Amino acid sequence: MSISATPASAHWNGTGQLIARIGLYPYNYNDTWQKPMNKALANWNATSSPADIYKNRNSGSTITVKSYRNTWYGHYTRCGDSCLYIKLNSRTINRDASNFSNYVTGVFVHELGHALNLAHNSTTSIMNSSRNRDTMTKPQSHDVSDVNAYY
């Protein structure tokens, strides 16, 4: 019996950045937020993908943490070929996190996945909307494969 794999392209959203090297304007929050946010960058950069996410004072890409009225945890928006905005919702994260640091890291890794052209999916993936945000903090092998296939 043969099992056919879903092509990686089925999980691309096509609204991410043109290249996997992404500069972010340096964000500055208290250590409760800063450390897990920095860990999210390190988690993508440690993969065998072309992801290279770094802080750059000349970048127009921003990360904002504040309390939004909406029900989402994070939101990614493309603002140009090399520009992005990511919002992290402190209201929903504070409300639902059992492990705050992991939750922040996992949500930010997920939003960076959108910046790397990844769409939501239902596999074992950081892009699975039903994943356990208290424990899944790193891109999974499926995520890395999709990024490698895209770039």
Q: Where are the domains of the chain?
A: 21-146
Q: Which residues lie across from 95 on neighbouring strands?
A: none
Would the pTM of this model clear 0.75, i.e. be above it? Answer: yes
Backbone angles phi, psi at 100, to 5 degrees: -55, -50
What band does 12 get if pLDDT is binned at 50, 70 and 90?
confident
**pLDDT of the residue at 14:** 80
Closest CA relative to residue 40, chosen from 104, 132, 116, 84:
104
pLDDT at 11 exceeding the cut of 90? no
User: What's the order of all strands across the beta sheet hosting 83-89?
Assistant: 62-66, 83-89, 74-80
Among 6-10, 37-41, 73-77, 129-133, the minimum mean pLDDT is found in 6-10
What percentage of the chain reaches a pLDDT higher than 70? 93
3-state secondary structure of 69: coil
Across the range 90-97, mean pLDDT stands at: 98
- Annotation: CATH topology of 21-146: Collagenase (Catalytic Domain) (3.40.390)
